[in-house]
Amino acid sequence: MMHVRLSLLFVFALATAAVATVPTRPNIVFILADDLGYADLGCYGQTKIRTPNLDRLASEGTRFTQFYAGASVCAPSRCVLLTGKHTGHARIRANGPRVGGQTEYFGEGAMRLSLTDEDRTVAEALRASGYATAAIGKWGLGEPSTPGTPNRRGFDLWFGYLNQNHAAYYYTDYLWRDDRKEPIPENAGGRRSRYTHDLFADEAVAFLRRKHEKPFFLYLAFTIPHRRFEVPALGAYSGESWPDEAKIYAAMVTRLDRDVGRVLDTLGERGLAANTALFFTSDNGGERKAFDPVFRSHGPWRGTKGSHYEGGLRVPMLVRWPGTVPAGRISDAVGWFADMFPTMLAVAGDTAPDAALDGFNLLPTLIGGDQPALRARTLYWENPARELAQAARRGPWKAVRAHPQAPLELYRLDTDPGETRDLAAAHPDLVNEFRAHFTAAHTPSPHWPSSP
């Protein structure tokens, strides 16, 4: 349930103290990386991969150290982000359903589940509030000709990959523009001339340079550094003694950083920076890679993408809104993707509560305040792809269960961030509370038959 702790008048009164002129209808840019590790950025401790623009973003805004994805894999995490519902009752809870769904448009027989007309997205809410909306990059929430495509889920403009398997082909010979295929002739017949990430960056810059009569919401879902590991040039990493894939990965992250810099520069050139709330994060934790020891992408966390340990769920989150979001601040407030729907609505000036949402409005935290309720609530994740795996966090406590018959593991993150000491035996009351929450938070789905 969404909780709004401050009235719109009070929120913007606080913001007024920081700026001479308060934007009444700010633009919103949300940039999502794909499988970026928590510690792949310099501002999160990376020492070998160069990320000057994202480090600049951190210095000009607020860096969150306890922020979580909506799920540990792609499609459900994006579903949580855009619908504001956690995986216990969201429509899409894993990358593919075990029952139902449809054969994906791209690929060889994998099943996909698409959003329906009942799944209201933040883009639909913002468009109804008067925003122009655009989605660029990777979608993963609706196959062609379904109600789940971006144009039917609130976006005026759409350019990118509909299907997440297709999105791994950086030299594909087509992308989707709105409801039609747009050929990339330079890549036809197996040629490799146009790197699709670059097309997305160009499209985003072109969108920002347009004359906008309305405030806008740009959802820029970049596809790198997701595997396949390929990039047009290694750049500064060509001479490193690392494994070849490590050099490619570093070049992909730095290319991502370069194009975030292009977005920042374009906002500045167009005089939009002060009137734009910009978010940057990753869809889930980084993937397990043979060259992980080179970069230690997962930082101190246990697990990787696909895991309910911190390495699969904890992600970087940077927020910049000059004059409103404090610059250079580091926040240990606990947030997650379900918070983004109500938070972006609040940024847009709409603070009407919506009982269908599972997140909190984080705007009071973004502008430098404290929200004690964030420490008392319980975050919940599940992955029913094989058996029903579940996890939850409340305050410093984290509970993980591999399947309904497995023992529940209990960790205290403030003293054991690496989740190395299972404290379940010492805290039976907490174990029972989390076990009850696992049952209450899970709504059965016909697409993933399982029982808690």
Q: Is the pLDDT of residue 13 over 50?
A: no
Q: Phi-psi region for residue 349, left (φ > 0), alpha (ψ -120 to 50) or beta?
A: left
Average pLDDT, the chain: 93
Q: Which two tokens stand for residue 399?
A: 């509970």
Q: Work out the angle at residue 389's Cα, subtended by the Cα atoms of residues 388 and 393, and round it to the nearest 5 degrees.
A: 135
Question: In 23-131, at which residue ranges do the beta strands (DSSP E only) sit?
Answer: 27-33, 62-68, 102-103, 111-112
Residue 11 has pLDDT above 70, yes or no: no
Is residue 61 a contact partner of residue 308, using CB atoms and an 8 Å limit?
no
* Residue 239, pLDDT above cutoff 50: yes
CA distance 402 to 397: 17
**The pLDDT of residue 14 is above 70:** no
pLDDT digits (tens, 9 = 90+) for 304-334: 999 999 999 999 999 999 999 999 999 999 9
End-to-end CA, the chain = 22
Confidence of residue 19 (pLDDT cuts 50, 70, 90): very low
What is the pLDDT at residue 152?
98
Phi then psi dihedrals of residue 80, to 5 deg: -60, -45
Query: pLDDT value at position 106?
Result: 78
For residue 70, pLDDT over 80 is answered with yes
Position 1 scores a pLDDT of 43
Question: Could you tell me the pLDDT band of residue 12, with boundaries at 50, 70 and 90?
Answer: very low
Cα–Cα distance for residue pair 271/358, rounded to 1 Å: 35
151 pLDDT exceeds 90?
A: yes
Cα Rg for the chain, rounded, in angstroms? 21
Mean pLDDT throughout 151-170? Answer: 96
Q: Name the strand (E) or helix (H) holding 14.
A: helix 8-16
Predicted pLDDT of residue 54 = 98
Band the pLDDT of 108: cuts 50, 70, 90: low
pLDDT tops 90 at residue 66:
yes
Average pLDDT over residues 168-177: 97
Q: Which residues pair with 381 in a beta bridge?
A: 391
What pLDDT was estimated at residue 39?
Answer: 98
Cα–Cα distance, 139 to 153 (Å, whole number): 11
Q: What is the DSSP string of 351-416?
A: ----TT--S---HHHHTT---THHHHSEEEEEE-SSS-EEEEEETTEEEEESSTTSPPEEEETTT-
CA atoms lying within 13 Å on the CB side of residue 64: 26
- 64 pLDDT more than 90: yes
Residue 84: pLDDT band (50, 70, 90) is very high
pLDDT at 110: 81
Q: What is the pLDDT of residue 356?
A: 87
pLDDT of residue 350: 87
pLDDT, tens digit, for every residue of 181-236?
A: 999 999 999 999 999 999 999 999 999 999 999 999 999 999 999 999 999 999 99
| Per-residue pLDDT tens digits for 349-396 | 987 767 789 999 999 999 999 999 999 999 999 999 989 999 999 999
Average pLDDT of 289-306? 96
The domains of the chain, with CATH numbers, are 8-374 (3.40.720.10)
Question: Which has the minimum average pLDDT: 1-10, 330-339, 411-420?
Answer: 1-10
424, pLDDT greater than 80: yes
- For 323, the token pair is 């004059």
Over pLDDT 70: what percentage of the chain? 93
